[in-house]
Chain A
């Protein structure tokens, strides 16, 4: 019984997070079922309505429903987050594998490159990329993916080194299996679980970073419905229409927190097994 009470809050957090993610996925795939109104249709007479039963989360300056736009923005925001994470993980895995499994000079070279990239902390690398290619939704996804890759690479490198020295890999060496066989059949499957947890954590982080870029006016251009862009739009009317910034931000926080809770849970599982 005591164990139950110790575990209960954690289980509740996992269940809640799964529910949030399921709802967001539903929004992304079936927005019209959850919000039948058009997210881009303009009704100037209904502008700046505060939250009420008629307009659940209020309306923005053009009379578009904030709730409608959040639901319809899920697809854009989630795909930017997922795309950025995919790019970051693929690049990070490539670099991490090169450093973790390659010859010593390759490890040295890659590790120095990663150190240089780490000197562009956080959004700096992404901002640099946007200077080069100009603002936009796809650019911000690529920028965030590039900016997160060094972090993934460092984690994957250390994972690779740990697994490489494990007894079961040494056993394959003794059995005379080639390096490719060892990589595909033994090392990669063992790193995969940790990788999966990293992806879950990464999607949350990427959504926050991409929204930061949109918030700064460097992401998806208006009038498209995207959470970060909605925030940037609402900032102009912060004093009069708080709901325009508060709710899109809340959804971003919920999405990021849900990804973090599930990612950490998966990480704990990967560590135990």
Chain B
């Protein structure tokens, strides 16, 4: 999987019009002499045939060497390592908050009957359609500029996390809530919920012990996707709140056309996506016995 991502990225990057050596020296405006160009080409191995470059790069990736950033002149792995923590904190916190909102909203919607359902559906569409850049801006306007409760620029510590996490969590909760509400409504009408009620369990008991578990399955299966969308949202959110992290590093690298850094961050995100997807599938299997091989209804 990662090999395929690396290959695709390598060849996509090579399509850039213009000489990569020139980009290292500061773009077309730098008026670098031919000697300097040749030196850089030799240094980065750009004078070798494409296939050799490709194999070289794969070999380096296997040993954990992601190359050196053109713009920061630091090893890419080191740059990613120093920025990863901030983004990961942001993504995990947003995932947790988004889940909490989605579960609460979906339960309340099923509880509230037809009116509750209609309200929740409207709110979910509004939340899911809310772009990160606008929500973040509005939150800054409301809580920093107008009320002055929270800092507009992300400061270290939990206070600085509140606005960025809210910005990322609300649209996510909209998506997850839509899926949860549909499956929760279906589960509440299922025979097992009826039999649990017939045994005299309270509505809350039915919800906590039976239906919620079933309803969570499709949403858990989407964890990988959710994580991925959080990472790309992090690019926007880290820019708005001037928060250091992988997203802003990526944006800076794109603007500078810093090829090794972009490739490295993309590889890191793809790896994170794969891990999150596998984790989501494992969670799905844990929650839903039907999808376990040898479970009550056999393998799927």
Contact = CB atoms under 8 A, between A and B. Distances in A.
Q: Do A and B bind each other?
A: yes
Interface stretch (A35-43, A181-189, A246-254): A246-254
Contacts of A261: 125
Contacts of A216: 235-236, 239, 251
Interface in B139-157: 140-141, 145, 152
B16 A132 contact: yes
Contacts of B236: 212, 215-216
A121 B269 contact: yes
Interface residues of A, number: 44
Contacts of A130: 254
Nearest to B236: A212
Contacts of B250: 127
Interface string A255-267: 0110011001000
Contacts of A119: 1, 5, 270, 273-274
B254 A9 contact: no
Nearest to A257: B129
Nearest to A129: B12
A245 B137 contact: yes
B231 A124 contact: yes
Given A122-B228, A215-B236, A131 B259 contact: yes
Interface residues of B, number: 51
A208 B269 contact: no
B62 to A, nearest CB: 18
Chain A interface mostly: helix
B118 interface: yes
Contact of A246 (B9, B138, B269): B138
Contacts of A245: 134, 137, 141
B266 interface: yes
Given A121-B225, A124-B231, A253-B131, A217 B141 contact: no
B231 A128 contact: no
Interface in A10-43: 10, 13
B262 A9 contact: no
Contacts of B145: 238-239, 242
A253 B133 CA distance: 11
B270 A249 contact: no
A66 interface: no
B109 to A, nearest CB: 14
A120 interface: yes
Interface string B224-246: 01011101110110011000000
Contacts of A231: 133-134, 137
A100 B227 CA distance: 28
A127 B229 CA distance: 14
A124 B231 CA distance: 9
Given A120-B5, A238-B140, 4 more contacts: A121-B231, A121-B269, A122-B233, A130-B254
Interface of B: 1, 4-5, 8-9, 12-13, 15-16, 114, 118, 122, 125-126, 128-134, 137-138, 140-141, 145, 152, 225, 227-229, 231-233, 235-236, 239-240, 250-251, 253-255, 257, 259, 262, 266, 269-270, 273-274
